[in-house]
Amino acid sequence: MSAILEVEALNKQYSGSSFALKDVSFAIPYGSIVGFIGENGAGKSTTMGSILGTLQKDSGSIQIFDEEMDPDKTNIKESIGVVFDDIHLPGGITVDKLGQVFNNIYQQWNQKTFDYYIDFFSLPKKKKISGFSRGMSMKLSVAVALSHDAKLLILDEATAGLDPTGRDELLDVLKTFVIGEERSILLSSHITSDIEKIADSLIFIKNGELLLKVEKETLLNQYAILQCKQYEFEHIEKNLIITYKRSGDEMEVLVSDREQVPASIKTKAFSIDDITLLLMRGEEV
C-alpha cells in the first residue's frame, strides 16, 4: 500500500457549463502533504468534491485506503477530515455543545483532542458559533476535522481568512498531523507561500486539466526558470520545456532539469508563486 488516495482518469462535467475535469489522475502517498494549486475556477473544489462523493463524477476511479470510494461507508467517511471554505457549522450553538453534536455523529469522536485544538487555536467555548469571525470558523472546522481520527485531510482553502499567526499555527498542526507516515493531506490554497512551507509535492491544475505533478524538492532543486531570447530558446531540448511565456523579445521558460540546459542561458531565482504564474499564463511547446 503506497498511496492513501489514488485518483485515476477522473472526469466530471456540470450540466449547462463548459467546464470539465479532464482525466485527472494523481496519488497521495502515505505521510505526505500534497499542495493543490490553480487559479479561480480551475477545478480544485470540483476535484475535491468528486473525491468525497459530494459531487457525482462522470467517470474515473477513486481508491481511498485501497478501496473504491463510497461516501456511504461509515469507516471511509470517518477516516476523512474535511474543511471547505464555505463552512456549514450550526451557528446557534456554542463550541461546548458542538462537541456533543459531533460525538453523536462520529463513532471515533475524540473530545479530548477537540478540546486541545479549541485551546490551541484560542477559540471561545461559550460564544455562539454564529458570532465567530471567518478565521475563527475556519479554525473551528479544522479542529473538528482533526478530532475524529481521520487519516486523510482534504482542505479547500483552509488557510484563507487566517491572520499570519493563525496560518503559522495551522501549518504547524498540519505538519505534525502527517508525522508517522500513516496520514496525509490534500491542501488547496491560493497562498502559495503556505504550500511552499509544508507541502511535499505539488499538483497544478488549469481549466480542469493537471499541468504538472512534482515533488517540491525536485521543483526547487532541479527545475529552473530560464530568461532567454528566441535564438537561445531554440537550443533547449524540447522535452525539458514544461511551459514558456514571451514578453517582447524576452522569454521565460520553465524547464524540468537545469543541468541539461546550456550554461550560457540565464536562470532566475524563483518561488512557487513564480512557477504558478508561468504555468497558468504560459504556453506549451
Ligand X SMILES: Nc1ncnc2c1ncn2[C@@H]1O[C@H](COP(=O)(O)OP(=O)(O)OP(=O)(O)O)[C@@H](O)[C@H]1O
Q: Which residues sit at the interface with ligand X, rule CB under 6 A?
A: 14, 17, 19, 38, 40-46
Phi and psi dihedrals of 213, rounded to 5? Answer: -125, 125
- Cβ burial 11-43 (10 Å sphere, 16+ → b, else e): ebeeeeeeebbeebebbbbbbbbbbbbbbeebb
> Which CB atom, from 59 or from 108, has the smaller least distance to ligand X?
59
> Which CB atom, from 2 or from 40, has the smaller least distance to ligand X?
40
Question: From the CB of 253, what's the least distance to ligand X, in Å?
Answer: 26
Residues across the chain: 285
CB atoms within 10 A of CB 283: 9
> Which CB atom, from 44 or from 151, has the smaller least distance to ligand X?
44
> Which CB atom, from 205 or from 241, has the smaller least distance to ligand X?
205
Identify the CA nearest to 183 among candidates 192, 173, 191, 193: 173
Question: From the CB of 161, what's the least distance to ligand X, in Å?
Answer: 13
> Which CB atom, from 49 or from 99, has the smaller least distance to ligand X?
49
Question: From the CB of 220, what's the least distance to ligand X, in Å?
Answer: 24
> Which CB atom, from 17 or from 165, has the smaller least distance to ligand X?
17
Question: From the CB of 249, what's the least distance to ligand X, in Å?
Answer: 34
How are strands ordered across the β-sheet holding 152-156? 80-83, 152-156, 184-188, 33-37, 201-206, 209-215
Question: From the CB of 159, what's the least distance to ligand X, in Å?
Answer: 13
Strand-pairing partners, residue 80, are 152
Instruction: Fill in the amino acid letter for 213.
Output: K
> Which CB atom, from 37 or from 265, has the smaller least distance to ligand X?
37
Question: From the CB of 205, what's the least distance to ligand X, in Å?
Answer: 7
For residues 178 and 187, the answer to whether their CB atoms sit within 8 Å is no
Instruction: Please report the sign of the dihedral spanned by the C-alpha atoms of residue 235, residue 238, residue 239, residue 243.
Output: positive
Identify the CA nearest to 33 among candidates 168, 229, 248, 179: 179
* Rounded-to-integer distance, Cα 1 and Cα 113, Å: 28
Question: From the CB of 263, what's the least distance to ligand X, in Å?
Answer: 38
Residues 6 or more apart in contact with residue 114 via CB below 8 angstroms? 99, 102, 143, 144, 146, 147
> Which CB atom, from 44 or from 183, has the smaller least distance to ligand X?
44
For residues 246 and 285, the answer to whether their CB atoms sit within 8 Å is no
Question: From the CB of 19, what's the least distance to ligand X, in Å?
Answer: 4
